[in-house]
Amino acid sequence: MTLSLPTLSDFEAFQAWRADQSRWLPVALDIAHSHGLKTAAPHVFATGTNLVAGLGDELILKIFPPILRQQFVSERASLTQLQGRLSIPIPIILCEGERDGWPYLVITRLHGTVGSEIWPALPEDQKERVLGQIGATIAEVQRAPPGQLANIEPGWPRFISKQIEGCRARHTRLGLPPKFLDGFDDLLRDARALIPLDQPVILVGEYIPENFLLSRGGNGWHVAGLFDFGDVMTGFGEYDLLGPSAFMTAGMRRRVRSLLEGFGYSDAEINPAMKRRLMALLLLHRVSDPIRHIQIEGWQERAGDLVELQELLWPT
């Protein structure tokens, strides 16, 4: 008998249902069996958004609820488009399908340690080295032609327009202090002039420690793999510098320089206009939440306004 997946009304209902793996793991294993895959010792990944189960040491089954079908489209198109174009591993799609309106992918499992487990304890020189590699990886991804990813909605111009429209209300709701909100009108006016709308490259959206793997070799730790392409879109390349800038560089000059040099920027390109663009993009990011994301101790007291905050985030 084929096991079924339910019809769920919204994302909250999906999260509640997903929390009990006994509801969905049997279906995942049934899907794996239908493709002739081994299912001994399955491992459930509790973090993330979708249903993800490891099938042994070599395979991952990723199941997307119908309300997140766009993530399936993005992941499949990204893995297809970037395959063979990067110097670090990404998953390979082995098979795909759909059960009860829930699309799924079976992909290869990458080897290494999730960055979030290693990053806090890395020596400073290793952090700088890894950030340089992340910057280089971002640039490498962005050199790949967008292909079908260029068709992902809403499209960069519409995305930026919508983000600008809701920016002040979003950050007011999230509790950003008034001294930073006071500069929003000037920053959003500048954003319209500073952020290019006609230079679309592939944007992963979240180059953060949870989304890459690290391995240790003779020269220390290095980036060993990149995964999770469910939020990929196309747009202006600097957008993808925001995850490392918020979560990893901690406003430390050498870390920032490593990231930006890895990305391909010279010292001359790290100028006030670039910092202003990054500050605007940070606040316009799809999941922007400075209070909870900026990893600089005491930044709310150390910066008096948005201009001082951008200098704190990207010192030169």
Mean pLDDT of 130-158: 96
pLDDT for position 41: 85
Angle at 228 between CA 172 and CA 50, to 5 degrees: 80
Mean pLDDT of 147-168: 95
Q: Inform me whether the pLDDT recorded for 176 exceeds 90.
A: yes
Q: How confident is the model at residue 2 (pLDDT cuts 50, 70, 90)?
A: confident
* Integer Cα distance of 232 and 240 in angstroms: 10
Q: 3-state class of 39 per DSSP? A: coil
Q: Give the whole-angstrom CA distance, residue 172 versus residue 202.
A: 30
At the top level of CATH, the class of 11-108 is alpha beta
**What is the pLDDT, as a whole number, of residue 316?**
84
Per-residue pLDDT reduced to its tens digit, 20-56: 999 999 999 999 999 999 888 899 998 889 999 999 8
pLDDT score for 1: 63
CA-to-CA distance for 281 and 242, rounded, in angstroms?
Answer: 8
Q: To which H or E segment does residue 59 belong?
A: strand 59-63
C-alpha distance across the termini of the chain, in Å: 63
pLDDT value at position 91? 98
pLDDT score of 217: 87
Q: pLDDT tens, 232-245?
A: 999 999 999 999 99
Query: pTM of this prediction?
Result: 0.94
What pLDDT is recorded for position 164? 95
Choosing among 3.40.50.10740, 1.10.10.10, 3.90.1200.10, 2.30.22.10, the CATH entry for 113-313 is 3.90.1200.10
pLDDT of residue 16: 93
Reported as a single tens digit per residue, the pLDDT across 64-103 is 999 999 999 999 999 999 999 999 999 999 999 999 999 9
Ranges of each domain in the chain: 11-108, 113-313
Buried b (16+ CB within 10 A) or exposed e, 81-117: bbeeeeebbbbeeebeeebeebbbbbbebbebebbee
